[in-house]
């Protein structure tokens, strides 16, 4: 529960607030854009204005439930009046919320797919809670858990046990998920289920992997994200734990692979639906090639 006695003073007057325990993971800002922003002075989130419409109030509740430090709150209300997670992002993709502090607040997703296509996918994992497990069960459970890298494992093992899911991770990050059932090796892409391609991209961590799904959706973990201010793809130079040169080469390999995408779902950083770009996949590819060029100069 958010602590009213630690309310950030920059927040707009009203019942919604963020407390000082915020760790600047960005997650609340992704689910409540225009309501919650980063205070440049200390990096703590704050409400730039109070929500007013029903849609904005849902966004504020998502910020409450996505926050790994429970820093977002309302002065009197403790629970949302209706479920705000899993949040349907269309194309069968749902943001799960309940981000884990163990993964520094990384986002995780459920993708609902027919069993003949391998069944439902969890991409990275939230913290364990029945508030996720119950609706996920109603949506058909989990057949595969796809771990993008060692940092975003969170409570994958608990979800795998609950749903009997297979768990995929790259060998080079395997120590973070000793419970994994399926281990990826090397750098060659492999189809782990029909239409689900694991593309190893060592760089952010040694065992980072992109998951390219159904010919157009890309789950990037922490290897790739969107910069909404500059309207371009980015990689995190200051949060590259293994090798920037390797990450540059990995994304160059992916750009040259012929795999195209028009929706990007990130662990950290901003996701992006490129449907307003035209043609979307071509434009996203152009952005990726430009990113690789910039990375070579950094
Ligand atoms: S999700 Fe919580 S910890 Fe992360 S930036 Fe928002 S308020 Fe801070």
pLDDT digits 0-9 by tens, 109-165: 999 999 999 999 999 999 999 999 999 999 999 999 999 999 999 999 999 999 999
3-state secondary structure of 26: coil
User: How close is the Cα of 254 to the center of ligand 1, in Å?
Assistant: 31
Looking at the chain, the domain(s) classified CATH 3.30.70.20 span: 4-74
User: How close is the Cα of 199 to the center of ligand 1, in Å?
Assistant: 30
Atom of ligand 1 nearest to the CA of 66: 1
3-state secondary structure of 102: helix
| Structural contact between residues 72 and 2, judged by C-beta atoms closer than 8 angstroms | yes
Task: Going residue by residue through the chain, which has 298 residues, state the pLDDT in tens, using 9 for 90 and above.
Answer: 899 989 988 999 999 999 999 999 999 999 999 999 999 989 999 999 999 999 999 999 999 999 999 999 999 999 999 999 999 999 999 999 999 999 999 999 999 999 999 999 999 999 999 999 999 999 999 999 999 999 999 999 999 999 999 999 999 999 999 999 999 999 999 999 999 999 999 999 999 999 999 999 999 999 999 999 999 999 999 999 999 999 999 999 999 999 999 999 999 999 998 877 777 777 889 999 999 999 999 8
- Residue 58's CB is within 10 A of a number of other CB atoms, namely 19
Does the beta carbon of 122 lie inside 6 Å of ligand 1? Answer: no
Does the beta carbon of 64 lie inside 6 Å of ligand 1? Answer: no
Residue 224: the pLDDT is 97
Atom of ligand 1 nearest to the CA of 72: 7
Pick the CATH number of 87-296 from 3.10.20.310, 3.30.479.10, 3.40.50.300, 3.60.15.10: 3.60.15.10
Residue 15: the pLDDT is 97
Looking at the chain, the domain(s) classified CATH 3.60.15.10 span: 87-296
Residue 298: the pLDDT is 85
Residue 66: the pLDDT is 98
Peptide bond connecting 279 to the previous residue in cis, omega within 30 degrees of 0: yes
Look up the pTM and report it: 0.96
Residue 141: the pLDDT is 98
Residue 283: the pLDDT is 82
- Residue 254's CB is within 10 A of a number of other CB atoms, namely 24
Segments in 199-279 forming alpha helices (H)? 244-255
Tokens of 65: 């439930």
Architecture in CATH of 4-74? 2-Layer Sandwich (3.30)
| Distance of alpha carbon 73 from alpha carbon 90, whole angstroms | 27
| DSSP line for 34-98 | TTEEE-TTT--EEESS---SHHHHHHHHHHHHH-TT--EEESS--S-SS---SEE-STTEEE---
Residue 126: the pLDDT is 98
Does the beta carbon of 23 lie inside 6 Å of ligand 1? Answer: yes
Residue 146: the pLDDT is 98
User: How close is the Cα of 167 to the center of ligand 1, in Å?
Assistant: 28
Does the beta carbon of 25 lie inside 6 Å of ligand 1? Answer: yes
Residue 54: the pLDDT is 97
Residue bearing the CA closest to ligand 1, atom 3: 22
Residue 94: the pLDDT is 98
Does the beta carbon of 69 lie inside 6 Å of ligand 1? Answer: yes
């Amino acid at each position: 529960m958010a602590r009213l006695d630690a309310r950030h003073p920059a927040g707009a007057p009203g019942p919604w607030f963020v407390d000082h325990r915020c760790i600047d993971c960005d997650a609340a800002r992704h689910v409540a854009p225009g309501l919650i922003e980063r205070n440049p002075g200390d990096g703590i989130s704050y409400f730039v204005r109070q929500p007013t419409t029903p849609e904005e109030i849902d966004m504020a509740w998502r910020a409450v439930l996505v926050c790994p430090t429970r820093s977002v709150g309302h002065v009197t209300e403790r629970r949302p009046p209706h479920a705000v997670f899993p949040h349907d992002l269309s194309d069968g993709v749902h943001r799960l919320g309940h981000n884990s502090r163990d993964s520094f607040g990384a986002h995780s997703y459920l993708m609902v797919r027919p069993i003949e296509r391998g069944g439902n996918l969890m991409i990275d994992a939230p913290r364990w809670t029945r508030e996720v497990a119950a609706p996920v069960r109603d949506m058909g459970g989990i057949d595969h858990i796809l771990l993008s890298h060692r940092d975003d494992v969170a409570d994958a093992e608990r979800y795998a046990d609950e749903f009997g899911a297979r768990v995929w991770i790259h060998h080079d990050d395997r120590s973070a998920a000793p419970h994994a059932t399926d281990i990826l090796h090397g750098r060659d892409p492999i189809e782990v289920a029909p239409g689900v391609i694991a593309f190893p991209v060592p760089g952010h961590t040694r065992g980072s992997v992109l998951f390219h799904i159904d010919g157009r959706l890309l789950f990037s973990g922490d290897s790739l994200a969107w910069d909404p201010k500059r309207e371009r793809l980015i990689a995190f130079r200051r949060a590259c734990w293994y090798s920037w040169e390797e990450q540059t080469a990995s994304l160059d390999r992916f750009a040259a692979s012929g795999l195209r995408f028009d929706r990007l779902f990130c662990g950290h950083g901003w996701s992006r639906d490129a449907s307003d770009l035209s043609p979307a996949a071509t434009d996203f590819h152009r952005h990726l090639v430009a990113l690789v060029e910039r990375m070579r100069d950094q």
